[in-house]
Each structure stands twice: as structure tokens, then as C-alpha cells.
Structure 1
Amino acid sequence: MRVGFLMFDDLEELDMVGPWEVWTMAGHLKPEIECVTIGPTDAPVRCAKGMRVCPDHTMEACPPLDVLVVPGGQGTRREVNNAELLAWIAKAAQGCTWVTSVCTGSMLLAAAGPARGKRITTHWRAVDLVRGRGEAAEVLDDVRYVRDGNVVSSAGVSAGIDMALWLIGEIWEPAFARQVQRNMEYDPAPPHQGAV
């Protein structure tokens, strides 16, 4: 199983790295899982907070994927008008069993076609932006992730971790997803919650 992480400048780091950690941790337990990064070129991608990541493949040379992960971030505002990137998403998604997004990555999935006319979600601050485009059937707020067919979109940043764990439980079984979660020591109980 090959999981591909699309990258572009100004993507939100945890939108990609959160699901990457889930999938690569799963890969330690199931070696048939391969994770790859995909960029427009072979140049490093500069993320929103300055982290630089080198792609394993260019979009042009990317092998077939089983799962596509499209992150969000400020870069999506530019990339939603990038016809080449949208065409690549549409083509890559055709061969995927699952097509996923984090944050405003769902806006790219809707613009490219895989999430057009479907129920999706995004970061709470971007709900109106994504709704305003009118490409999704519904943009849900106050949910961590939502599935519509083979498209699974998640809210912002850390929600991508939850979405990836849920999907691993769907593909294999919840017990395996719990094992991955334990290996990550992911226990979502944020400090200072009582002050909210």
C-alpha cells in the first residue's frame, strides 16, 4: 500500500506531518505500507512555518498511489488556482482507494473534482471560505473528520492525526489503529482544557 503526501509551498506542517507520523508508524508494524512525499518539482518545499521538506517524487514521476493525503495551509489559497496541480490531484485520485485532506486541503480536493458535490470539512477559520466556493455539497463545522464515499476530509492541523487513525482502523481494524495510537503515545487530552 502506497500513501502519497502532496506538498506545495506554504502548506501547514502538521497537516502533513501528523498523518505522516500515523502512516509511517503503521508502516513499522505493517511493512507493506510505503509513504512517499510528492512535490511539483524535486526542489525542497518550504512549509508555512519554515520547515523544508524534500519530495521523494515529482508530480510528473509519481508512482500510483492507494491513498492520497492533501494538506492545507495558506498555500492552498494560491494552489486552488494552479491548474497543473489540480489536474494532477484529479488524475492521481482516480487510482486511489482513499482520497484524504487536512484543513483547506479539502478546498483543493473540491476544486480538482474528487470532493466536488460531497460533504467535507476544514479548519474552523476556513469554513466560510470553502463554503463560499460552492463546490462541495456541504462544508461541516465542529467535526474532526467526515467521510463521503472514498473521500475523507478533516478539520485543521491536529485533526489530520485523528482522520489518519480512523482510516487505518477502517482499512484494517480498530485494534490496529489503537496499537498505532499507543506506539505514537498519542493521547489527546490537551493541557489547560479546564480554562476553555
Structure 2
Amino acid sequence: MNVDIVVLLFDRMTALDAVGPVDVLKCLPDARLLFVGPEVGPLRTSSGGLLMHAERALEDVDQADILVVPGGHGTRALMEDA
């Protein structure tokens, strides 16, 4: 049985908050990772020097077994856009 792991990416997120859990969760048997964002494309982390790529828009995701929501300076803007 597949385990769908969805990682929410957004501008000014803390990269370690996304990458750390993924490094562990990817070891689950039948794990399937999906990186999503407000829209498809690159998003800059809080350090400003790293881009991460959203493969799909959040609104296009129907379900997730595990949802990873990182922290960071961009959380306030993300909550205002909810």
C-alpha cells in the first residue's frame, strides 16, 4: 500500500523543516513524495540562497497520508492567504 507524503513549499520557508522530515519519511516502504506549493514552480527558502520546486499546486492535491508543513519567515504570509 502506498504512503502519499505531501510536502508544502512556500516562499521564505525554512528548508531544513521540509528536508529533514523528508529524509526520514522517504524510507517508509512504498513512500511516494510530492512537493506542492501555491502554484507549480520554484520557491525561495528563508536563507534566500536555495530554491525548491513545487511539482504541483496545492489545490490539485486530493489527499495525503502525511502532510509536512515547514516553518519559517513565510508562514505569516501563507496564513493570510489561507
TM-score for the superposition, normalised by structure 1? 0.39
Q: Deviations over 1:51-77 (max 9, x none)?
A: 111112111212411111110000012
Give 1:23 deviation, angstroms.
Answer: 1.1
Runs of 4+ in 1 over 6 A off after TM superposition: none
Count of aligned positions: 79
Q: Deviations over 1:78-103 (max 9, x none)?
A: 212112xxxxxxxxxxxxxxxxxxxx
| Residues 74-113 of structure 1 mapped to structure 2, 5 A cutoff | 74-83=73-82
Larger radius of gyration: 1
Structure with bigger helix share is 1
Q: Which residue does 2:40 correspond to in 1?
A: 42
Higher RCO (CA < 8 A, seq sep 6+): 2
Q: Which residue does 2:67 correspond to in 1?
A: 68
RMSD: 1.2
List gaps (5 residues or longer) in structure 1: 84-196
Contact 2:13 2:71 in 1 (8 A): yes
TM-score for the superposition, normalised by structure 2? 0.87
Give 1:13 deviation, angstroms.
Answer: 0.7
Q: Deviations over 1:121-164 (max 9, x none)?
A: xxxxxxxxxxxxxxxxxxxxxxxxxxxxxxxxxxxxxxxxxxxx
The percent identity for this pair of structures is: 33
| Residues 1-196 of structure 1 mapped to structure 2, 5 A cutoff | 1-24=3-26, 26-27=27-28, 30=29, 32-49=30-47, 50-83=49-82
